[in-house]
Amino acid sequence: MCGAMTWVSDFKLIGAIGEAGGFGFLAGGNAPVEFLEKEIIATREYTDKPFGVNLITIAPVYKEQLQLVCDLKFEIVMFAGSIPKEPEIKKVKDTGAKVICFAPTTPLALRLIKMGADALMLEGSEAGGHIGPVTLTVLLQQILFEVDSVPIFVAGGIATGRMMAHLLMMGAKGIQMGTRFVMAEECKAHSKFKAAFQKAKARDAIATPQFDSRLPVIPVRALKNESTFDFNKLQLELVKKLENKLIDQQNAQYEVENFWVGALRNAAVDGDVQRGSLMAGQSVGLVDEIKPIKEIIDEMVNDAEAELQRLNRKFNQS
């Protein structure tokens, strides 16, 4: 799977991934409903292969996007951001779509399944963009090894076919990547954005801190640059406004999200790699070559098959 990436996951990228045998998600994000509708229509004109939509439940336009997705009908809808409400899951499922939800803990995983989730996504904190607090290796042990009533997909720090093979043997039904697909020729991200990925090492992709519990922010993993410091300054300014009652918590959180949407656009679209946000997972240290999507997917599949064959020979010898 190709994870939904705001300003990056457009119809050409998602369509090309489908044509190459993968499965992509358009990013709902904070996109205006009219824009998301155009992207959906364009993707369906580009390919007849299935694809999904990722909806951020805390986005200001979430409810409008949810209605649009239900009206247009999809194979798969993924809920992200926070826990979707049970009626929202049902609304999507009533259109014939399957629902995938992110699950950061075992109790929440079981709750989401009870609410109607058809599958779960475990995304480790190694991933890029908005992240949870737990690494994939721990989520595998907490949830993948304990829950078997629905398919479970995994994400975070994955960039090689060999790793995919081992995750499949552990029980995962598939893997999701984002950072690796940024380096696809078909990805519209600015050339300077891709060049920054090529140069980066895993340790360069850092997560933002939370300074005050009164302003609960979802950590964001990105390559360290001036936007990292800009965001820290914004947090301090918003905390001060909260103290002086110049802003409420909801609007403060909206300002945080608006910062990331604008900063990501500055980098991914306009090429401002100094002050724009370079959202990337730690797998950026494993990615240094720009290739066509078909080559990326073929390499992943071939390397996974080779690893499975290697292990098969090893086990048969012992």
Let me know whether 270 and 299 are in one domain.
no
- Let me know if residue 6 belongs to a domain: no
**Do 196 and 171 reside in the same domain of the chain?**
no
Cα–Cα distances in Å, from 177 out to 107, 182, 193, 300?
25, 9, 17, 11
Residues 262, 200, single domain; the answer is yes
Same domain for 50 and 171, yes or no, is yes
Taking 3-state DSSP, the helix, strand and coil percentages for the chain, each rounded to the nearest 5, stand at: 50, 15, 35
Same domain, 16 and 111: yes
Looking at the fold, whether 83 and 216 belong to one and the same domain comes out as: no
What is the Cα–Cα distance from 183 to 318, expressed in whole angstroms?
Answer: 40
pLDDT means per 10 residues, the chain with 318 residues, are 94 97 94 94 96 92 96 95 94 97 92 97 96 94 95 98 98 98 97 97 95 88 95 94 92 87 93 96 96 97 97 88
CA 53/CA 23 separation, integer angstroms: 11
Q: Is residue 1 part of a domain?
A: no
What is the pLDDT at residue 60? Answer: 83
**Whether residues 209 and 135 fall in one domain:** no
Identify the burial level of 215 via C-beta atoms within 10 angstroms of its C-beta, where 0-12 means exposed, 13-18 middle and 19 or more buried.
Answer: buried
Provide the number of structural domains found in the chain: 2
Please indicate, yes or no, whether residues 57 and 202 belong to a single structural domain of this protein. no
Whether residue 148 is found in the same domain as residue 242: no
Q: Are 122 and 139 in contact (CB under 8 A)?
A: yes
208 with 98, same domain: the answer is no
pLDDT of res. 318: 67
In terms of residue numbers, what domain contains 226? 191-282
The residue with tokens 């369906």 is 44
